Amino acid sequence: MSNAIPPIPHPTNDEQIRSFGKGITSRHEHKSQLGRQSLFVVAILFALAASSSAQDWIRTGTGLGVEKVRVAAPDFKPSTADAKNTDLLKTFNSTLWNDLDNAGIFFLVSKSFYPLQTPSQPTEVKFADWSSPPPEASMLAFGNLGATADKVMVQGWLYDLKNPASPQVLGKQYSDSATDDAVRLIAHKFADEIIFRLGGGIPGIAESKIYFVSDRTGHKEIWMMDYDGANQQQVTHLGSISLSPRISPDGSRLAFSSATKSGWEILMYSFDLNRLVSFARFGGMNLSPSWSPDGKLAFSSSRNGFPNIFVVDGSGNNGHRLTTDKGPDVSPTWNRKTGSQIAFVSGRTGLPQIYTMEADGTNMQRVTDQGYAVSPNWSPNGQFLTFSWMRKYGPGEPGSNDLYLMDVASKQWVQLTHDAGRNDFPCWSPDGRHIIFQSHRTGADQIFTMLADGTNLKQLTTKGSNTQPNWSWK
Amino acid sequence: MKHQIVKHQIKMWGLFVAALGTLMFLGACAKKAAPPPPAPPPSPTAPTASLSASPNTINKGDSTTLTWQTTNATDVSIDAIGAVDPSGSRQVSPSDSTTYHLVAKGPGGTQDATARVTVNPAPAPPPPQTSNATEEELFAQNVKDVYFDYDKSDIRPSEQGAIQADAQFLQQHPGIHVTIEGHCDERGSTEYNLALGTSRADAAKSALIQAGVAGDRIKTYSYGKEKPFCTESNESCWQQNRRAHFVYEK
C-alpha cells in the first residue's frame, strides 16, 4: 500500500474507470478525445510510478479525490445490570465496528481520538467534542444494549454532528433473544441502516451470505458463512467432490456441480427445505452453473460432445446450447443487471480467454487479448467484469494469477491484486463495492474480501482449503 | 488356487470313471449279443434298414439315443459300435459330431443307413476368477496412459504410439470396457481445468474410436486438477498430471 502513487483526479462520470499499462486502446471513438487526454495524464503518472517504484500499482476507484465522510462509532454501553451484557456487548461492538469499517464508503475515525465521555443516549451527546479535532467527525453512531432475563434490547442512533439543531439521521430499537447470534444480527441490521443512508441509498451487505467450497472435513463440500466470516456452516454432506456453489437471486436455492458416479452433474440444494432437491441430470460433464437475474441457469456441459455453454430454466428444462465450438467453454456469468449478456471462458484459441455474448449466443466477442484469463464475474450494475488473469502466462513465465476489473463497454482494465500468490474466483458483493475471492497468498487457498479498488483486504477463512466463494444477491 | 486344482483333478477322475463304465457297458452288450439266427436260405429278400438319432443335436457331454430297425438282415453292424441286434436302440455320447453308419447284410444283399448327430461344443465354462485378474493385469501391463502438453487436449505425435497400442490391446480383448479420466496439472483455474480434462478424455476416446475400438466400450470422466498423481510444483510432476488415465472396467 505504501507504494501507491498519488490518487487519480476525481473521475468524471463517463470516465469512472481507466486502464493502465501497455498496449491498451480505446475502441470507442466518441470517447477518444477525452480518453487520449486522460490516458496522457495516466501515462505520465505511470511513468512517474515506474521511475519511483518497480511496481505498477495504481489506485483507482469511483470515490478517489473525494474526502470520505468521517464517522465516529464509540462502543455501545450497557443499559441494564445483567451479567450477560459484557459478552453480548463485546460481540455487538466488534461486529458493528467491523461492518462500518468494511463498508468502504466513509472514514471510520479511530477510537483513540474519541473523548473520554462517550454517549449511550441522545441527551449525552456533546457535539463540539466530536465535531472538532481530534475526532473531527461528521457523523456519530452510538447507543446502548441491555439484557433482561433471556431477552436483549438495543437502541441505536446516527447523529449528524454538523446539524445540532436537528441531528437525528437514524434512531432504531431492536429486541431479540439474548444470544450471541441475535446481537450479531442486530449489529448487522443497524450497520446496514447506517450504510444505506450514507451510501447513496444502496443497501448495505452486513446481512448477506457467502457460499464456498471447503475441504476441512476431508472432502470438498459446500459451506456457507456470514459476509464477515462468522457462522461457518456445512451445507452438503456428499462425501464426493462438490464445487462451484452459486446461490439463486432470491437466496432460496443453491446450484453447484458435484462428481457423481456417471459424471459431473448440477445439483440443487433448497434452503426452504434444507435438503437437496431433484434437478435434471444431463449426462457428460456439467460444470460451473450461473444464475440469471430471472432465475435461469447457464452452465458448461459436454452432453453433446465438447464442453459448451448451455442454458436451462430454473427447473432444468428447456435446455439449449449457446456455443458450438470445440471449446472447452466454461464458467459462464450473466450480466446481473440486464440478464441479456453472458461472459464465459473459452480455450478455443489456446490459452483460456474471456468472451462475451448475448444471452442467445449471438455477438460473440473476445475481451482479453493475451495470457490466461478465467473466472469472470459480472458486477451488479452490469458495467464491470472482474476475473482472474495471468497476463503473461506459459511455460517459463513467472507471472501470477491476479484479479482484474474490466469495463465491459470499453474493455479497459485495471489490476486489483499485486504480487500476492494465486488469486481466483472473484465475486461481487450485492452492493458492488466489494469483491470476495480465493487467494493462495498465505500458502493455502483461503477466502478474502476487499473493496473493489483492491484495498481493505480481510481474510475470512483459516481452516483447511477454502475456495470458490459466491456472494448472495442481497 | 489349490482348491481349484483339486477340484479339477476330481473332475478329471469323474470323467475317467464314467468313460470306463461306458466301455464296460459296451463290452457287456457286445458279449450279450447273440449270434443272429440263420436266415432262411431260400428267400433272398433284400434287407431293409433305418437308423435315427433322437435328439440329433446334443451338447458336448450329453447323450442321444440311436434307434435302428432292420429286416432280412443276418449281420447288422454300426460303425464305431460294432455288431448289433437287428433292431434295437442304444445311448451314445459322441464327443464330436458323428455320422453313425449302419450296415445290414443279408442273403438278399446289403443295405445301409446313416444318422447324423451334431455335437455343439461345450458352453464355455464361466471363466474362473484367476482369468479375470489376468485380464486386468494384462490391461495394467499393456494399456498406457496418454500424456498432454500444457493446456492442450490434442494427442501429441509422441503419444500416437501409446494410443495405437492401447487400441490394439482393446481390440484383442473385446470384453474389456474402459473409463478414460482426463487430468490436469495444478496450474490454472479449477473450473477451466475440469473442462480441459473433459476435452482430454474425449480426445483419447476419439483416437481409440478412430483406431477401431467401439465407442460404447469407452466412458469418459474429468477430474481436472482434483485428483493429481503427483503433488509437487515442478514440470516433471505437472507432466505426470496432464494425462488421459485409462481405467479397467469389467
pLDDT digits (tens, 9 = 90+) for A74-85: 999 999 999 999
Looking at residue A220, the DSSP 8-state letter turns out to be B
Check CB contact under 8 Å for B226 and A220.
Answer: yes
- CB count within 10 Å of CB A262 equals 11
* pLDDT value for B12: 53
CA–CA separation, A179 and A149 (whole Å): 11
Domain-wise residue ranges, chain B? 33-120, 129-249
* Residue A331 contacts B where some CB pair is shorter than 8 Å: yes
Q: Residue A468: list chain B partners with CB under 8 A.
A: 190
Cell digits of residue A218 = 476431508
Cell digits of residue A120 = 449511550
Cell digits of residue A287 = 460444470
Answer whether A137's CB lies under 8 Å from A128's CB.
Answer: no
Pairing of strands B146-147, B109-120: unpaired
Please say if the pLDDT value at position B20 is more than 50. Answer: no
* Residue A6 contacts B where some CB pair is shorter than 8 Å: no
Q: Please name the residue of chain B whose CA is at the shortest distance from the CA of residue A468.
A: B190
**Domains along chain A?**
1-64 (no CATH), 69-198 (3.40.50.10070), 209-471 (2.120.10.30)
Check CB contact under 8 Å for B199 and A284.
Answer: no
From the list B150, B196, B223, the residue facing A328 with the nearest CB is B196
* pLDDT value for B73: 83
From the list A263, A331, A394, the residue facing B191 with the nearest CB is A331
CA distances from A7 to A45, A278, A416 (A): 9, 52, 15
Q: Residue A238: list chain B partners with CB under 8 A.
A: none
A215, A243, A262, A285: best mutation site toward chain B, by most B Cβ within 10 Å? A285
Q: Residue A287: list chain B partners with CB under 8 A.
A: 191, 194-195
Higher pLDDT, A460 or B29: A460
Higher pLDDT, B70 or A55: B70
CA–CA separation, A149 and A178 (whole Å): 8
CA contacts within 13 A on the Cβ side of A439: 23
From the list A307, A467, A468, the residue facing B199 with the nearest CB is A307
Check CB contact under 8 Å for B198 and A307.
Answer: yes
Q: Residue B198: list chain A partners with CB under 8 A.
A: 284-285, 302, 307, 328
* pLDDT value for A282: 93
* pLDDT value for A232: 97
Question: What CATH code is assigned to B129-249?
Answer: 3.30.1330.60
B33-120, CATH topology level: Immunoglobulin-like (2.60.40)
* pLDDT value for B45: 79
* Residue A157 contacts B where some CB pair is shorter than 8 Å: no
pLDDT in single tens digits along all 474 residues of chain A: 334 333 333 433 333 333 333 333 333 434 343 333 333 333 333 333 333 333 445 555 555 556 789 999 999 999 999 999 999 999 999 999 999 998 989 999 999 999 999 999 999 999 999 999 999 999 999 999 999 999 999 999 999 999 999 999 999 999 999 999 999 999 999 999 999 999 888 899 999 999 999 999 999 999 999 999 999 999 999 999 999 999 999 999 999 999 999 899 999 999 999 999 999 999 999 999 999 999 999 999 999 889 999 999 999 999 999 999 998 999 999 999 999 999 999 999 999 999 999 999 999 999 999 999 999 999 999 999 999 999 876 555 556 789 999 999 999 999 999 878 899 999 999 999 999 999 999 999 999 999 998 988 999 999 999 999 999 999
Q: Please name the residue of chain B whose CA is at the shortest distance from the CA of residue A371.
A: B188
Check CB contact under 8 Å for B222 and A326.
Answer: no
Higher pLDDT, B184 or B96: B184
% chain B with pLDDT above 70: 78
Burial class of residue A52, CB neighbours in 10 A (0-12, 13-18, 19+) = exposed
Check CB contact under 8 Å for B189 and A425.
Answer: yes
Check CB contact under 8 Å for A345 and B191.
Answer: yes
Cell digits of residue A156 = 441505536
* Residue B218 contacts A where some CB pair is shorter than 8 Å: no
Per residue in B96-122, pLDDT (tens digit) is 878 888 788 888 888 888 888 888 776
* Residue B33 contacts A where some CB pair is shorter than 8 Å: no
Answer whether A240's CB lies under 8 Å from A207's CB.
Answer: no
